[in-house]
Structures are given as C-alpha cells and as structure tokens.
Amino acid sequence: MIRGDKFETKQFSTEADTEYGVTSSLRSGLGNVRSNFVSSHPLEKSEREYDDKMKQMNFNMLRNSQGIHAPLRKQMELTAINKATTRLPFLPTSNLSQDILNGNDACISIQDNFSHEDSEIMGDPHLMMEHKLGLKPL
C-alpha cells in the first residue's frame, strides 16, 4: 500500500514460520536432513570412537612405561607399513602386519564376520596387471 511518499510493507518473522507453525522452505531454504538425526542407540557413538580411544590409551601407556620413543617408533612403523604395503591387484588385501602392530591379530571383530566378500575385484591376473601398468583398459 502506498501512503504519501512511504511504502508500507509487511514484515515477516525471521524464524520463517507461517501462522500455522509450518516452516516455509521457500524463505528458509531446504534444511540439512543429517543435522536432524540423532544416534539410534546410546552405544553407537561409543562404538564409533572405541578404536581411536584404545589407540590413544595404548600410546599413553607406552609413553608412561617406556618413554616417548616407544609411541613414536610404533607410529613410524605403522606409517612405513601403510606406505610400503604393495600387492598384486588380483590378490586379496590382508593387513596382517598392521593388525599385528595394533594388537588385532588375536581379536575377532565385527569386520571379520560381516565384511563384504566381493569388495575387491578378483579377475584375470594378466588383465589386471596390464591395467595397472596402463597397457590396456579393463
């Protein structure tokens, strides 16, 4: 509406709620659906962070009992194993040396039981090596 030299405009709330209590997605945008989720079980967060906490606890115990060199050496060995682990592309991956250093060689975890059997490509060794060397596409 126009009154003299001034325009009268309707002010909308900053919360972008309509008079019926429904959020207008045209004004506020589409919300992030992931932020609305909560964990489905109280132990979910604990299980996600378990490996990191155990690794940190083991490093602290090594540092307290043997000095600062022990966790540094273990971290250096893990880094060397991760960089030096090479295998032929048609063979399955077994991180045995990493499991031994982490102390997981005698443990049976959920990944041992429920890992996907077809997660790695198993094929003809000659074709896989030719693809890796860039001689022939798959």
Higher pLDDT, 16 or 58: 58
What is this structure's pTM?
A: 0.52
What number is the average pLDDT over the span 93-99? 82
pLDDT at 77: 94
Section 38-60 average pLDDT: 85
Asked if residue 99 has pLDDT above 90, the reply is no
On whether the CB atoms of residues 97 and 81 are closer than 8 A, the answer is yes
- Residue 56's pLDDT is what? 94
| Most confident residue range from 55-59, 89-93, 110-114, 126-130 | 55-59
How many residues in the chain?
Answer: 138
Give the per-residue SS3 of the chain.
Answer: CEECCEECCCCCCCCCECCCCCECHHHHCCCCCHHHCCCCCCHHHHHHHHHHHHHHHHHHHHHHHHCCHHHHHHHHHHHHHHHHCCCCCCCCCCCHHHHHHHCCCCCCCHHHHHCCCCCCCCCCHHHHHHHHCCCCCC
Quote the pLDDT of residue 133: 86
Domain ranges of the chain: 44-106
